Chains A and B, each alone.
Chain A
Amino acid sequence: MRVVYDGTFEGFLTIVYELYYQKLKPTVIEKSALSYSLFDEVDTLVTDETKALKVLQGLQKWWSRKNLQTILNTFMCDSKSFEMDLLKFIRLGFKDEKELQNINHTSVFAIRNLEKEFFRHYHRMTGFVRFQELEDETLYAKIEGKFNTLYYLGEHFSKRFNNQKFIIHDIERGLAFVHNQESKGIHQVADFDEPIYSSKEEKFLKLWKTFFKSVAIESRTNPKLQQSFVPLIYRTYMSEFG
């Protein structure tokens, strides 16, 4: 059976609930119905917060924090269709949590690998995010990416820019991590205007480009290798490639 849900975490937990209480047997789970065929049995699931909460409480009660975190991290990989694997992962975990270390299960292996891919992506982003200084000395970065790493990036930069004000803006997802003296956290961005950058910006960008160009050793030029380390998809906001 094909199940369609709204793509939210609560929506997914509702599926888990129905799995146990309504004997729901999904074979495909989609975030939104892509195409219907006449003979498909499609079940559109309405997100129910009480059901979702019940499942969440169950997870918090019976699962170790680390495995629960794996579920949340998997959910941040929003460009992948991980739902079936995650569902099997959760069923397996409720049966016997030890089995979640058994990578001989295809779905456990898939989820563990997806989590690794997520952190690999996050790790790359920690290096490839570029901030620009605004008029009022706030540091502002635009990002895009296949996974939603905003929370982790925000925490990472809260440590290193502890005495700075900064904003990381996920353009595609319309989210922003805002950090200042008083608070830090993720906010929705409804619409925004291009901010005004500080006058120092130009000088340091030029210095940075100069540096980037002159540290390369000409006789060893190898653009293929470079591209395997910095795939084009990451380069959108990287100032040295602009």
Chain B
Amino acid sequence: MKKDIYTKMQILSDSAKYDVSCSSSGSDNNYKTGELGATENSGICHTFTADGRCVSLLKVLLTNYCIYDCAYCMNRVGNDIPRAAFSPKELADITINFYKRNYIEGLFLSSGIIYSEDHTMELILKTLRLLRHEHKFNGYIHVKLIPGSDAKLIDEVVKLASRVSSNIELPSNKSLKLLAPNKTKEKVLQPLKLARDISLERTDKVIGMSTQLIVGATPESDRDILQLSSALYDKALLKRVYYSAYIPVNNHKNLPALVNKPPLLREHRLYQADWLLRFYGFNWSEIVNEANPNLDEELDPKTFWALNNLHLFPIEINQASKEELIRIPGIGVRGAYKIIAARRFKRLGFDDLKKLRVSLKRARYFITCRGKYQNEVALYPEKIRYALLEPAKPKQPTLFDINYSATTGEL
């Protein structure tokens, strides 16, 4: 039976939704007179879904037919689900029309493996050619590389796409073998390495690449995960690693049995730690180590690190360098810049910080202003920890009392 285009859209976007990546940032602002589309360096979110995730790109699968049998994936060959496929022309047409209505920033194209890796990559490439050459589209295109496809195909995709990625999915080879028998770490990393080398040959700027790891399906600790991410960033292989809390979509003997809810808090903490790696000059071994292989659930990773390294504190904000400032819990990059801008004109006190709206909720325990330390809590890890975690005053319960955190969605 031939499916109508709305059903196809429903099936194929539903299958793509577990891919977390939706960023459209990090590319140069490029527009050409007489053509359509431009990318924006900051990236633009066009709407937010009911689960609070940004929609920036039209995220669909070209097809959800797949010959692979990965245990965690809902599109695995053994699953009895409705299948559909877009033709490259159909998809290019939808993309252009969505773009013209400012629904989206571009296209995020992934696919199940239909017939073979190369055949799938060909189809993706066809869509790309239509968009770039026929429609003169300069907007953002993110393509998921198909592991095991031909180097020539990857080469052309890298030339046409704004960003490419390949999902590692699981943090170790052992887990991959267990849950994704058709994949190995080498096979998953191969297209990324290839894409890096290809783009390096042409320019000195590596094409933006990302990957995704599933958290909570296998027994790896946060330490293993962060170590892996950190290695990938160091090798300039990736711009971004996404973490995705494991959501059960299949039943399989190798998957964790019954999970009540996805480990959203753990995912949140991993992202916080990831930010520390990429923007705050932290090393993974500072955040997690042998003694604490997993991130603290109650405190964010930076505060946790600070409490374990209290000998470095308090930091005098009128003298500290930018690198030191951003290591203070509660002070981020923006806060640091504000402090640096303001202290050129005067020596700052606690009141000045308040006036500058620098958040002092956590920072006050770790700083001195003009040599003064706050005098409510003494500089001991246990005392500060207690002060930070002080139970909030009970709120008046409402009739429909379901409270969840706005950031993590945790109940």
Contact call B264/A103, Cβ cutoff below 8 A: no
Interface contact A131-B48, CB-CB below 8 Å: no
Q: Please, which residue of chain A has its CB at the minimum distance from the CB of B51?
A: A220
Q: Is the CB of A104 within 8 A of B342?
A: yes
Tell me if B94 and A207 are in contact (CB < 8 A): yes
| Nearest A residue to B247, CB-CB | A219
Within 8 A of B (CB), among A85-127: 101-104, 106, 109, 123, 126-127
With A162-B36, A204-B97, A207-B9 already in contact, the answer to whether A217 and B247 are too (CB < 8 A) is yes
CB distance from A176 to the nearest CB of B (A): 16
Cβ contacts under 8 Å, A160 to chain B? 31, 36-38, 139
**Bound complex: CA of A102 vs CA of B23, how far in Å?**
35
Contacts of B194 in A (CB 8 A): none
A38 at the interface (CB under 8 A from B): no
Which of chain A's residues 204-237 have a Cβ closer than 8 Å to chain B?
A: 204, 206-208, 210-226, 228-230
| Total count of chain A residues near the partner, CB < 8 A | 53
Question: Could you tell me the distance between the alpha carbons of A218 and B136 in the complex, rounded to whole angstroms?
Answer: 37
In chain A, residues 155-188, which have Cβ atoms closer than 8 Å to a Cβ of chain B? Answer: 157, 159-164
Provide the bound-state CA to CA distance between A226 and B404, in Å.
13
Q: Are A225 and B102 in contact (CB under 8 A)?
A: no
Roughly how many angstroms separate A131 CA and B409 CA in the complex, as a whole number? 32
Q: How far is the CB of B400 from chain A (nearest CB, A)?
A: 13
Interface residue stretch chosen among B53-61, B115-123, B232-240, B370-378: B53-61
Residue among B18, B32, B51 with most chain A CB within 10 A: B51
**B324 CB, min distance to chain A CBs, angstroms:** 21
Residues of A within 8 A of B51 (CB): 216-218, 220-222, 225-226
Task: State which of B46, B94, B139, B338 has its C-beta within 8 Å of the C-beta of A128.
Answer: B46
Which residues of chain B from 134 to 163 have any CB-CB distance to chain A below 8 Å in the complex? 136, 139
Count of chain B residues near A, Cβ 8 A: 63
Taking a contact as CB atoms closer than 8 A, the residue among A106, A141, A200 that contacts B102 in the complex is A141
Nearest A residue to B30, CB-CB: A159
In the bound complex, residues from chain A placing their C-beta under 8 Å from that of B38 are: 159-160, 162
Q: Check if B17 is an interface residue, CB within 8 A of chain A.
A: yes
CA distance A217 to B248 in the complex (A): 12
Given contacts A220-B409, A222-B50, A226-B51, contact A103 B31 (CB under 8 A): no
Please encode chain B, from 24 to 50, with 1 for each CB lying within 8 Å of some chain A CB and 0 for all others: 000001011111111010101111111
A127, A132, A157: the one contacting B46 at CB < 8 Å is A127
A139 at the interface (CB under 8 A from B): yes
C-alpha spacing A218/B5, complex, angstroms: 23
Shortest CB distance A203–B (Å): 8
What CA separation (Å) do A158 and B355 show in the bound complex?
A: 39
Which residues from chain A sit less than 8 Å from chain B, CB to CB? 101-104, 106, 109, 123, 126-133, 139, 141, 157, 159-164, 200, 203-204, 206-208, 210-226, 228-230, 238-240
CB pairs A–B below 8 angstroms (17 shown): A104-B345, A130-B101, A130-B102, A131-B102, A160-B31, A160-B36, A160-B139, A203-B5, A207-B5, A208-B101, A210-B13, A215-B17, A216-B49, A217-B49, A225-B406, A238-B47, A240-B47
